[in-house]
Amino acid sequence: MKFVFVLLSFFFSVNVCAEALPHLHIQPETLDMGTVKEGEEAMGTLLIRNNSDTVVTITDIQASCGCTAVEPKSKLLAPGAFTELDVRIDSTVKQGDVTKWIRITDSAGHVAKAILKLNVIENPHLVREGRGLFDGKCASCHFDPVQGKTMGKEIYNAACVMCHGEGGKGAYAPALNGYEDEIALQHLISHGTGTPQMPGFANEEGGPLTQKQVLTLSKWLLSLD
């Protein structure tokens, strides 16, 4: 009798755990992609599982920036089935601890998200040949989206948020919400720090921002707490 009770308890706990799982689930939810030299490609594999009772199709794959590529082995998932997600991150113009994210949506509207972490170290043999934030894959995040933007917040979200964090609070790159000197902030945005990670964003420096956009962006950043 005791054995039957234990067995029933086990099946009940398994059933509760299964019901508690999200309909679409990525494992692991945080993937450590290790250490790479700048310019190398970090690679990893995730599993995505359909925990619902219906067949679904992966309909949308989003990443925090254009340097992150995600390719599922299969887009069709039967109930209880899983597939591999191959993940690649271009480490060009990155340095130190880097965090990215991916978001997967299926045909039933279920969403799964995972965090990707890697450490980028200096590559003494890297030949840039003009590669920077405004070229190649990086341009899809830091150059193209800012065209035509007129509001400070939308300019920031189009070109800066992926490095400097929500509301200028800092992330991969330092915070921008603590400045009190508007001239100094405008100079930083326009002319950068002299590093590939933070070039000048003004048009005259080869960047995407007009002088008016620089002024609008700096005023918005100064208005933050």
**What pLDDT digit, counting tens, does each position of 36-89 carry?**
999 899 999 999 999 999 999 999 999 988 889 999 999 999 999 999 999 999
128, pLDDT greater than 90: no
Q: What is the mean pLDDT of the chain?
A: 87
pLDDT tens digits for 150-198? 999 999 999 898 889 889 898 878 889 888 899 999 999 999 988 878 8
Percent of the chain with pLDDT strictly greater than 90: 60
Amino acid identity at 25: H
Q: Which fold has domain 20-121?
A: Immunoglobulin-like (2.60.40)
Average pLDDT over residues 199-212: 93
pTM greater than 0.75? no
Kindly write down the DSSP assignment for every residue of 97-166, as one continuous string: EEEEEEEEEETTS-EEEEEEEEEEE--TT---TT-STTSHHHHHHHTGGGTT--SHHHHHHHHTHHHH-G
Residue spans per domain, the chain = 20-121, 136-222
* Alpha-carbon gap, residue 78 to 65, rounded angstroms: 30
Amino acid identity at 192: G
| Angle of CA points 32, 175, 213, to nearest 5° | 115
Domain 136-222, CATH among 1.10.760.10, 1.10.10.10, 2.60.200.30, 2.40.50.140:
1.10.760.10
Confidence (pLDDT) at 86: 97
Confidence (pLDDT) at 19: 52
Locus of tokens 């341009």: 139
* Alpha-carbon gap, residue 187 to 192, rounded angstroms: 7
Q: Strand 111-121 relative to strand 96-106: parallel, antiparallel, unpaired?
A: antiparallel
